[in-house]
Structure 1
Amino acid sequence: MTEEDSFTNDETGDVVRRERFSSGPAREFLSSLDADERIFTADIAVDRAHVIMLAEQEILEVDTAGEILSALTDIETAGHQNLPAGEDVHAAIETAVINRVGDEGGRMHTARSRNDEVATCIRYRLREDLLAVLQSLLDAREVLLSEAAEHVETIMPGYTHLQPAQPVTVGFWLASYENALARDTERILDAYDRVNQSPLGAAAFAGTTFDIDRGRTAELLGFEGVIENAMDASTTRDMLVESVNSVATLGLTCSSVAEDGIIFSNRGFIELNDDYASTSSIMPQKKNPDTLELVRAAAGEVIGCYTGLATTLKGLPRAYNRDLQRATTYMWDAVDAAQDAVDVTAGAISTATWNTSKLQSAAGEGFSTATGVADLLAQNGIPFRIAHEIVATAAEPVEEADETETAVELLDEAGEEVFGEAVTNRVEIQQLLKALDPTANVAARDSRGGPAPEELTRAIADAKNRLDEDRNALDNRKTAVKKASKQLTAEVDNYV
């Protein structure tokens, strides 16, 4: 019997003929073998755990289990590229086992379906990918906090609507993005814990008549638990939706960092390291922030993956449908793009040079200290809304002023003209001068979460503590996976 005209019965494991479905023009369209390379090692692990469980439950002879496990080791060593033709990686591996062991090799598929098998493989591999993304995330947060600590007093302009708004610091800007990445970390950790549940043993969607131990295979594969309902276990892909959504949000965070970096580069506030920039093919003076532009594009790619995934899953009937075969690739593309975006963003920021003199000069542009002046008036007895109107009235001519003293004089004149002596009787010129100075303006905003150097230093220390907690959380999950992998290897060695 050739591999083209054979298949394995889901329940008995017997190899039987199925010539009707062995060939035809749609075979290549149906096949996912090439795309399944991503889950090749995951499938080997799932096969091993299942075979060991079958032997322990006395459903499979120990000697047969040993032969199958030995064959799986050979197949893993040979690699995905040496698998025989098949509809998918699961069928190809089974065929390869039968080719080595004989018909008895088909017993490895006893008490399972490709439905629960592929669902388990996806979770097994996705778990690995999410851990890698989390590692990149934590490393990026460390970079941002380290840079922020170096720049707690580096004054820079802050913008809303891309208009000069209030002076802040480079450290404040960096810490704001670390805060966002911390939330991205929480989301992915939460998604990971829901991914880390085993569907194996659910069979096609309605369980099996064999006396299997689903908890044992979950343990051998390092899953934290079992998805109880067999129909839900084999069918659901909500863990893909949640995971893609969480990395899409991460992509948006990186895109925002990149956009700021591109604007700052345009203004001369920041110079990217040559490793993260390129030049023009015709204009030798150009230095382009190409990597950051690609980070922006990566966010679009991940959003596209989410849209494609959600559209594929929308309205599918219970239980398994072949559409799910196409759904998985969106996940792999999304995690790859998101991790690349994080790594490049962190690298670009950590190696960039800030032009402190230009930042300082631009910090007061557009009368950006106006809010500090309004606050000063309000602190000296003038209702804030009135103070706001006074400063707003003065803002237009002040925007054209070159000297701080001129700005003070204009404020003084506007105050007297609009509100009589309310301003000049309450606020001294020296107080106004201080409020108009960007450095003093930043230092005055020392409320919780503000940019004042002392407050920012405190916030960075707290953020570092949260980062340490998240590192511990990641390490615990990695350790659990490694422990299970060692246990599975040891169990295989007992049979082989």
Structure 2
Amino acid sequence: MTEESESASDVVRRERFSGGPARGFLSSMDADARIFAADLAVDRAHVVMLAEQGIVTDDEAATILAALESVEDAGFDALPDGEDVHAAIETAVIERVGDVGGKMHTARSRNDEVATCIRYRLREDVLDAVETTLGLREALAETASDHTETVMPGYTHLQPAQPTTVGHYLLSYEQAVARDTERLFDAYERVNRSPLGSAAFAGTPFDVDRERTAELLGFESVLDNSMDAVSTRDFLVEVVAALSNLATTVSGLAEDLIIFSNKGLVELSDDYASTSSIMPQKKNPDTLELVRATAGDASAGLNGLLTTLKGLPRAYNRDLQKATPHAWDTVDEVTEAVAVAAGAAATATWDEAALADAAGEGFSTATGVADLLAMQGVPFRKAHEMVAEAAEEGADYSALDSAAESVLGDSLDAYVERAAVEAALDPEKSAASRDSVGGPAPESVSETLSVAEAAIAADADALGDERAALDSAAEQLQTEVSRFA
């Protein structure tokens, strides 16, 4: 319809909603640069489908697709003003080819369009996050392989607890990050479903092929219920929750390395540290402090997202425009933080001498002595009481022997040979003795390492498969678009 053919009421309505002080408040253009390419892909897939279904002619499709290419070449910054990138692209198309450009929006709404664009772009971001977790896991595993026998202090409540090995410690984080990888893959599967074709929320009378647009855009399936498809943002919650968990995991690693650095047990590479502006002797773990802080930003993003979504009525509400930036901010910050943590872990230098000295502090081998007595038939609680009494006297063989007389009623050698006690008191031998599955003994660490390396390789293959599927769909879409050139 041209402006000349509009009724007076049409003109009044159009002018009524074309301006006003709230126009800028309604606009999401600043945030929409991120989904510019996604919207163009969604537009192309939709137009191809419309032509295949006979809803628009091939010539009309060719005209629209050529206009979209021109819009893409001009770039996001050349778009006209609009409430969002979707409307701005449509306006730019119409400016180039006239009324036929308005047929691009046939059988869809901005509601299903924006939901599709968000999912389309978020898929890439989730896969990028997965890739950074693999980088961190590789760094942890590689460093662990160099330190399967390097003894170090283990802490609970930040107090010396038991000797362990650097390899055992690092693999504890590798396994935690592996679960974070798994959560991201799980979330990706539910992101990778297409809402396109649901229109505003109640479907469309046009004979659209939703499976075809899903195929062209690389989605694994469609969301069946059209109302749910346009209104749900649970996929954002799932992704941001997985990222928040990942950020929390990595904040623990960052905190440990900061503390170990403070104790002189590990030295960070200069690339991941800084010095003071006034105190030249200082080497500050600044990057890891920022990694640690990212967990707060991520949890705030999750809370903000959940609060925005809480209590929204079906189906589409403009509140959802405020929900998506929480996901963009979180995925960007957490992905960057994980990459930094991986670099810091990979380049840190562990001081083996300092670690060995610290490994026995605070009578950290006490549990090993109690275990040794329990293996000889002494009730563990009695052995625990005896070793605790010895700890007050000096935590050496003499103190243990005296405590045995006091608590057990006999000398220590009545229960176990002195050589075995001396071995249990040695931090390195103590760590080596704990060779149960997943323990700190070098053999156990090596076994855990082999499992970890296999899991990393499998997840890398899975990531490659997902990326290949998206690339294949993009190529297919381009091929179909070229048919109309």
How far the C-alpha of 1:392 sits from its partner, in A, is 1.1
| Counterpart in the other structure of 2:55 | 59
How far the C-alpha of 1:106 sits from its partner, in A, is 0.6
| Counterpart in the other structure of 2:429 | 440
1:216 aligns with 2:212: yes
| Residue deviations 1:39-91 (CA, integer Å, cap 9, x gap) | 00000000000000000000011111111111111111111111000000000
1:146 counterpart letter in structure 2: E
How far the C-alpha of 1:423 sits from its partner, in A, is 3.1
Moved more, 224-233 or 471-480: 471-480
In structure 2, relative to structure 1, the CA distance for the partners of 1:362 and 1:489 (3 Å cut) is same
| Counterpart in the other structure of 1:461 | 450
1:201 aligns with 2:188: no
Q: Is contact 2:382–2:407 with CA below 8 Å preserved after alignment?
A: no
Report the count of equivalent residues. 480
How far the C-alpha of 1:417 sits from its partner, in A, is 1.8
Moved more, 76-85 or 255-264: 76-85
How does 1:300-449 map onto structure 2 within 5 Å?
Answer: 300-398=296-394, 407-421=396-410, 423-449=412-438
How far the C-alpha of 1:422 sits from its partner, in A, is 5.8
1:286 aligns with 2:282: yes
How far the C-alpha of 1:350 sits from its partner, in A, is 0.6
| Counterpart in the other structure of 1:277 | 273
| Residue deviations 1:418-448 (CA, integer Å, cap 9, x gap) | 2211633011221111000001001100001
The 1-side partners of 2:93 and 2:111 are apart by 19
2:439 counterpart letter in structure 1: G
How far the C-alpha of 1:467 sits from its partner, in A, is 1.1
| Residue deviations 1:319-345 (CA, integer Å, cap 9, x gap) | 000000000000000001110111000
| Residue deviations 1:129-162 (CA, integer Å, cap 9, x gap) | 0011111111111111111000001110000000
2:413 counterpart letter in structure 1: T
| Residue deviations 1:94-132 (CA, integer Å, cap 9, x gap) | 000000010110100000000000000000000010011
How far the C-alpha of 1:315 sits from its partner, in A, is 0.5
How far the C-alpha of 1:15 sits from its partner, in A, is 12
Q: Is contact 1:205–1:230 with CA below 8 Å preserved after alignment?
A: yes
How far the C-alpha of 1:492 sits from its partner, in A, is 0.8
| Counterpart in the other structure of 2:146 | 150
Provide the secondary structure at the position in 1 that maps to 2:173.
Answer: helix
The 1-side partners of 2:12 and 2:23 are apart by 19
The 2-side partners of 1:287 and 1:263 are apart by 13
The 1-side partners of 2:25 and 2:393 are apart by 69
2:291 counterpart letter in structure 1: V
TM-score (norm 1): 0.95
The 2-side partners of 1:326 and 1:396 are apart by 60
The 1-side partners of 2:311 and 2:411 are apart by 67
How far the C-alpha of 1:17 sits from its partner, in A, is 6.6
| Residue deviations 1:183-236 (CA, integer Å, cap 9, x gap) | 001000000000000000000000000000000000000000000000000000
1:181 aligns with 2:173: no
The 2-side partners of 1:16 and 1:211 are apart by 33
| Residue deviations 1:373-429 (CA, integer Å, cap 9, x gap) | 000000111111111111111112226xxxxxxx11101111112221163301122
Q: Is contact 1:53–1:213 with CA below 8 Å preserved after alignment?
A: yes
How does 1:113-132 map onto structure 2 within 5 Å?
Answer: 113-132=109-128
How far the C-alpha of 1:484 sits from its partner, in A, is 0.1
In structure 2, relative to structure 1, the CA distance for the partners of 1:213 and 1:433 (3 Å cut) is same
How far the C-alpha of 1:2 sits from its partner, in A, is 11
The 1-side partners of 2:377 and 2:298 are apart by 52
1:68 aligns with 2:68: no
1:85 aligns with 2:81: yes
The 2-side partners of 1:417 and 1:233 are apart by 73
1:339 counterpart letter in structure 2: T
1:152 counterpart letter in structure 2: T
Q: Is contact 1:415–1:424 with CA below 8 Å preserved after alignment?
A: no
Counterpart among 404, 417, 439 of residue 450 in structure 1: 439
Provide the secondary structure at the position in 2 that maps to 1:388.
Answer: helix
Q: Is contact 2:402–2:411 with CA below 8 Å preserved after alignment?
A: no
2:423 counterpart letter in structure 1: K
How far the C-alpha of 1:285 sits from its partner, in A, is 0.3
The 2-side partners of 1:15 and 1:276 are apart by 61
| Residue deviations 1:292-334 (CA, integer Å, cap 9, x gap) | 0000111111111000000000000010000000000000000
Q: Is contact 1:15–1:106 with CA below 8 Å preserved after alignment?
A: no
In structure 2, relative to structure 1, the CA distance for the partners of 1:345 and 1:248 (3 Å cut) is same
Provide the secondary structure at the position in 2 that maps to 1:102.
Answer: helix
1:486 aligns with 2:482: no
Moved more, 121-130 or 414-423: 414-423
2:474 counterpart letter in structure 1: S
How far the C-alpha of 1:471 sits from its partner, in A, is 1.1
The 2-side partners of 1:17 and 1:63 are apart by 32
How does 1:102-141 map onto structure 2 within 5 Å?
Answer: 102-141=98-137
1:39 aligns with 2:35: yes
The 2-side partners of 1:345 and 1:19 are apart by 53
Provide the secondary structure at the position in 1 that maps to 2:392.
Answer: helix
Provide the secondary structure at the position in 2 that maps to 1:167.
Answer: strand
Q: Is contact 1:15–1:103 with CA below 8 Å preserved after alignment?
A: no
The 2-side partners of 1:298 and 1:276 are apart by 16
The 2-side partners of 1:422 and 1:481 are apart by 72
Q: Unmatched 5+ residue regions in structure 1?
A: 7-13, 400-406
Provide the secondary structure at the position in 1 that maps to 2:393.
Answer: helix
Q: Is contact 1:71–1:100 with CA below 8 Å preserved after alignment?
A: yes
Counterpart among 78, 84, 94 of residue 90 in structure 2: 94
1:225 counterpart letter in structure 2: S
| Counterpart in the other structure of 1:254 | 250
1:464 counterpart letter in structure 2: E
